[in-house]
Amino acid sequence: MIKKSAAEMAAALSAGEVTSVELTQAHLDQIAKVDSDVHAFLHVDNDGAIAQARAVDEKRKSGERVSPLAGVPLALKDVLVQKGIPTTCGSKMLEGWRPPYDSTVVTRLKENGIVILGKTNMDEFAMGSSTENSAYGPTHNPWDLSRIPGGSGGGSSAALAAFEAPLAIGTDTGGSIRQPAAVTGTVGVKPTYGGVSRYGLVAFSSSLDQAGPCARTVLDAAYLHEAIGGYDRMDSTSINEPVPAVVAAAKDGNIKGMKIGVIKELQGDGYQPGVLKLFNQSLEILASLGAEIVEVSCKYFDYALAAYYLIAPSECSSNLARFDAMRYGIRVGEGSAEEVMNATRQVGFGREVKRRIILGTYALSSGYYDAYYGSAQKVRTLISRDFDNAFGKADVLVSPTAPTTAFKIGEKANDPIAMYLNDIATIPTNLAGIGGMSVPSGLAEEDGLPAGFQIMAPAMKDDRMYKVGAALEAALLTKWGKPILDNVPALGAK
Ligand code: GLN
């Protein structure tokens, strides 16, 4: 049962073939069996999950109407608050903190009867590409436990690939949903900015952060997207429009006549040959399904990484000022407020978080504001214009999701620039506020590890990504004869 898709599990639940308590217990058993190897979870809410499952079973039994994913379990990234459940953001700073309220994403999960199994590991405050920056130790990629599961949402992607949960929630500031999906052979979607509420999402870079669905199939991601998406008056950047019809698009998958734009700047040097080969194969498949492939150029994308690493640290330096030892989490030392604050931030934050706070504070300081932050904002506008022009020539844009497959734990840990380069292809969409999706493109010939195909669509046209993603997924399934995750080695032998 745990190897099925969420849609299949939902069908089994509504046919009465299985109860949510049984399904939830099966996933809790799998977590108990494999998570000492994988370390996808920071907290497993055994009793709470069973209680939620029982409530859904009773509702269903009494004949009450339930939503499509009711009773299906999910893993929640530890950056979204859930009332009473420890929320750490992968940081020592928040050790032991239990939020007094639910984020809107959690409220909607609960309203939909989706069972929350627990909180997943992540790079501290979502800063990183490997989950090695977690204060609680790294998560291991189920494909090869010596490798990273991507980041910052590596716990969520690993939980999916290890069959610990069929659904997960991630957040994507520069790629943290899509790059983990790519390196674990799973599906991840960063919706249009404003498409999913940020209320109760612990802020890293508020103008870039976006929560979204993670799953093993495009259709599952679509169901989850519709469950969590839509207007929320608690988030001033929330878009007051209906959620794009992503489930219908995922079920349709007809891409005949669609124009698919290949971004010239997002390939070539620095991309692993096997990843590029899979990307080109995917393009051929889409062409054979009736899409028209065109090449587009986005010349300012070369500056996207530099702009991001000024804007994101600048916003983070302001957002993380709230961790002052007075309001949330740990408190260290004695003396004046300033001394306590100093000692707490010294102990509570890890190296990468400190690096970004220092970088951002510097970029925002009065003498440098225009030169750094101001310039980065101008580049951001130019990148948006690049997208606008490209979408004049194509319905969706595509690229490899990440330049390489999963690297070894420790390989890039002491080289921030090498780490930052993982998001070279995902960052432009965050800067422009548009949607992006990663679907598996296959296993790279060099190392047999999964790679991702990225699909980007204009703001609030998220349905287009699902259409193309579903078409590619179906064609690859026919080609391989089985889902890509059937190749994950058996876990939990010890
Ligand atoms: N890896 C990028 C960073 O470190 C993106 C992180 C994210 O999307 N949360 O900032």
Counting atoms of ligand 1 from 1, which one is nearest the CA of 126?
A: 9
At 9-31, the pLDDT tens digits run 999 999 999 999 999 999 999 99
How far, in Å, CA of 80 to CA of 205, rounded?
A: 14
Residue 213 — φ and ψ, nearest 5°? -85, 145
In the reported structure, the alpha carbon of residue 353 is separated from the centroid of ligand 1 by a whole-number distance in angstroms of 11
Neighbour count for residue 290 (Cβ, 10 Å): 12
Report the pLDDT value the prediction gives residue 42, as an integer from 0 to 100: 98
As a whole number, mean pLDDT of residues 343-363 equals 97
To which H or E segment does residue 73 belong?
A: strand 73-77
Checking if the pLDDT of 5 tops 70, the result is yes
**3-class SS of residue 199:** coil
Report the pLDDT value the prediction gives residue 494, as an integer from 0 to 100: 55
How far, in Å, CA of 165 to CA of 269, rounded?
A: 36
Task: Please choose, from the candidates 172, 76, 140, the residue with its C-alpha nearest in 3D space to the C-alpha of residue 402.
Answer: 172
Grade residue 485 by pLDDT with cuts at 50, 70 and 90: very high
Report the pLDDT value the prediction gives residue 72, as an integer from 0 to 100: 98
Q: Looking at ligand 1, which residue's alpha carbon is closest to its atom 5?
A: 174
Grade residue 328 by pLDDT with cuts at 50, 70 and 90: confident
Helices assigned H by DSSP within 19-135: 20-38, 46-61, 104-111
Mutate-to-test residue for ligand 1 from 77, 123, 320, highest number of ligand atoms within 8 A of CB: 123
Task: Please choose, from the candidates 215, 213, 244, the residue with its C-alpha nearest in 3D space to the C-alpha of residue 228.
Answer: 213
CB of 203 within 6 A of ligand 1: the answer is: no
Report the pLDDT value the prediction gives residue 40, as an integer from 0 to 100: 98
Grade residue 268 by pLDDT with cuts at 50, 70 and 90: confident
Alpha carbon 255 to chain centroid, angstroms: 25
- Token pair in block for residue 323: 């961790």
How far, in Å, CA of 231 to CA of 240, rounded?
A: 5
Checking if the pLDDT of 149 tops 60, the result is yes
CB of 152 within 6 A of ligand 1: the answer is: yes
As a whole number, mean pLDDT of residues 306-329 equals 96
Task: Please choose, from the candidates 195, 193, 170, 176, the residue with its C-alpha nearest in 3D space to the C-alpha of residue 80.
Answer: 170
How far, in Å, CA of 53 to CA of 76, rounded?
A: 16
Checking if the pLDDT of 33 tops 70, the result is yes
Helices (H) and strands (E) in the chain, counts: 16, 11
Q: Looking at ligand 1, which residue's alpha carbon is closest to its atom 10?
A: 127
As a whole number, mean pLDDT of residues 459-481 equals 98
- CB-CB contact of 141 with 149 (8 Å): yes
Torsion sign across C-alpha atoms 331, 334, 340, 342 = negative
As a whole number, mean pLDDT of residues 347-360 equals 97
How far, in Å, CA of 109 to CA of 263, rounded?
A: 35
Mutate-to-test residue for ligand 1 from 80, 129, 316, 430, highest number of ligand atoms within 8 A of CB: 129
pTM for this prediction:
0.98
Alpha carbon 418 to chain centroid, angstroms: 20
Least confident interval from 125-139, 340-354, 458-472, 480-494: 480-494
To which H or E segment does residue 140 belong?
A: none
At 108-119, the pLDDT tens digits run 999 999 999 999
* Residue ranges covered by each domain of the chain: 6-258+436-487
CB of 423 within 6 A of ligand 1: the answer is: yes
Amino acid at 259: K
Report the pLDDT value the prediction gives residue 493, as an integer from 0 to 100: 63
Residue carrying structure tokens 């859930």: 82
Mean pLDDT of the chain: 97
Report the pLDDT value the prediction gives residue 316, as an integer from 0 to 100: 98
- Establish how many alpha carbons lie within 13 A of residue 255's alpha carbon, considering only the half-sphere containing its beta carbon: 30
- Establish how many alpha carbons lie within 13 A of residue 256's alpha carbon, considering only the half-sphere containing its beta carbon: 2
Grade residue 410 by pLDDT with cuts at 50, 70 and 90: very high
- Establish how many alpha carbons lie within 13 A of residue 198's alpha carbon, considering only the half-sphere containing its beta carbon: 22
Checking if the pLDDT of 307 tops 90, the result is yes
How far, in Å, CA of 206 to CA of 221, rounded?
A: 23
The CATH classification of domain 6-258+436-487, taken from the options 3.90.1300.10, 3.40.50.10680, 3.30.70.120, 3.40.50.2300: 3.90.1300.10
Beta strand ranges found along 143-222 (DSSP E): 167-171, 187-190, 211-215
In the reported structure, the alpha carbon of residue 249 is separated from the centroid of ligand 1 by a whole-number distance in angstroms of 28
How far, in Å, CA of 210 to CA of 79, rounded?
A: 11
How far, in Å, CA of 316 to CA of 438, rounded?
A: 26
Residue 171 — φ and ψ, nearest 5°? -135, 150
How far, in Å, CA of 243 to CA of 336, rounded?
A: 49
Neighbour count for residue 367 (Cβ, 10 Å): 8
To which H or E segment does residue 473 belong?
A: helix 462-480
3-class SS shares of the chain: helix, strand, coil, % to 5 = 45, 15, 40
Report the pLDDT value the prediction gives residue 256, as an integer from 0 to 100: 98
Counting atoms of ligand 1 from 1, which one is nearest the CA of 153?
A: 9
How far lies 433's CA from each of 414, 422, 453, in Å? 30, 19, 19
Residue 329 — φ and ψ, nearest 5°? 70, -150
Catalytic residues: 77, 152, 176
Pairing, β 41-44 against β 115-120: antiparallel
- Token pair in block for residue 334: 């004695």
- Token pair in block for residue 316: 């983070």
Report the pLDDT value the prediction gives residue 285, as an integer from 0 to 100: 98
